[in-house]
A and B are shown apart, each in its own frame.
Chain A
Amino acid sequence: MGGLALLEVRKSYGGTEVLRGVSLRVRPGEVVALLGPNGAGKTTLLRVAAGIARPSSGRVVVDGKDMAGEPQAARLRVGFAPERPAAYATLTAHENLTFFGELYGLARGEAASRAAAALAAAGLSHRSSDAAGALSHGMRQRLSFARATVHEPSALLLDEPFEGLDAAHRDRLVGILREKGGRATLLTTHMAEAALEVADKVALIDRGELVAIEPAAGLTPDGLGVRLRALGGK
């Protein structure tokens, strides 16, 4: 089973069930945008898919590797960028990416060259020697995307990737995501327009349940916005 598969995933914190039997398949080369009101379970679903949080029940499978049965093999195949861009503030942008490349099994020389390529793709080559802590929020967001892709994962998980980006870099990221390759990409966003530009499918989640999965081609930003407001107003 290639790509990313979430099978009947449930997640509870204390007595509260945050995910209620979510099943979702993202095929290789496919981009799925996950939309929903605040607290719907979008970030939790991404954290479970990334192997950061363990599901209470259900399975996560990445490129045929079960996250519970073969966690290291599954995690090697995943790239994850959290909503709040995280990096080691005193390491340079290039050092941050090289470190993560090595952590994901690349030899140091290869990690360094892939880091340089990822920084170039993110438009950060000119800041590669600067400490990550000295970058603006938007630049750290781009660095976070570059870090998530430096080891060329099979599945890419992006939590609000357009947040904090100016129009030019938002368009640039949309372009990169459209290139796809053989990568399965699952992203969350509250920007209906960006979601429809980049995604093949749109999944709507509300109160921990997937309520719809539809091809993006048949949807409009306004129509999607109306449906999201209806979910949030329930």
Chain B
Amino acid sequence: MSLRIVLTLARKDLALEARTFDILALMAILAVTLLVAFRVAFDAGSAPVSAAAALWVTTAFLAALGLARPFHAEAEAGTLDLLFASPATAIDLYLAKVIAAAAVAAFGALTTLALVLFLFGPDLVREPLAVALLLALGVVGLAAQASLLSAASAGARARGALFAVVFLPLVLPVLLWGVQGTQAAVDGSGTGTVFTACALLAAYDALFLSVNSVLARFVLQG
């Protein structure tokens, strides 16, 4: 692995994401739609607790929408072959996509958080550090899975559908631990639950970043 190559690739990917507003705009519209529906559906009295669920479910759906693209777009443009022909290794390509995907997922999470605060009240920021840490760890997990799946499905005809079908079940643990930790942080039911959720999310991130880096060698080859 070469850090210089990873950062070069990631900088390019971030520039591409910043110039392609359509998916980011679509993510924002989906966030508004989902959260307004959640707010109407949930009882006002349960707002703090249901806000945690709304935050994580929406973040996961935004990730499913926004994170499929990295390798799919490279395959469609023909640039994937140029990357395969370059000195970048499969791990370099994978880690660079994780960085870019994490940035997109963070955009989704922050957009969702702002909307949740507006629609459900400010309880989520009662423990801002805990919520920020949980979201950061969750975003890395989502990006780690999305980047490998994007690579694995890039050659498939129904690549978008294939990505979504596999992605959401794979990130279910992120969703569950994120909701548990955030609920505990919001209702003050215990720092132990928050710590456990953070530890589980960190372990999930470490496990799948390592495993997926190895798998990338088999997935990313011509």
Contacts and interface: CB of A to CB of B under 8 A. Distances in A.
Interface string B1-27: 000010011001001100110000000
A171 B19 CA distance: 36
A71 B222 CA distance: 13
A74 B87 CA distance: 8
A58 to B, nearest CB: 16
A105 interface: yes
A51 B84 contact: yes
Interface string B132-164: 000000000000000000000000000000000
A53 to B, nearest CB: 4
Interface in B193-222: 221-222
B85 interface: yes
Contacts of B82: 80, 82, 86, 100, 147
A78 B84 CA distance: 12
Contacts of B79: 86-88
Given A53-B222, A54-B221, A103 B87 contact: yes
Categorize the interface residue count of chain B.
20 to 34
A163 B72 CA distance: 26
B88 A103 contact: yes
B81 interface: yes
A47 B222 contact: yes
Contact of A80 (B85, B89, B221): B85
Interface in B62-109: 77-79, 81-82, 84-89
A96 B136 CA distance: 31
Max chain B CB contacts within 10 Å: which of A82, A86, A90? Answer: A86
A54 B222 contact: yes
A151 B15 CA distance: 22
A76 B4 CA distance: 14
Contacts of A52: 81, 84-85, 222
A71 B85 CA distance: 10
Contacts of A82: 78, 81-82
Contacts of A84: 78
B77 A87 contact: yes
B87 A90 contact: no
A75 interface: yes
A151 B3 CA distance: 19
B17 to A, nearest CB: 10
A132 to B, nearest CB: 9
A98 B87 CA distance: 15
A90 B20 contact: yes
A80 B5 CA distance: 18
Given A54-B221, A54-B222, A103-B5, A89 B89 contact: no
Interface of A: 47, 50-54, 71-72, 75-76, 78, 80, 82, 84-91, 95, 99-100, 102-105, 147
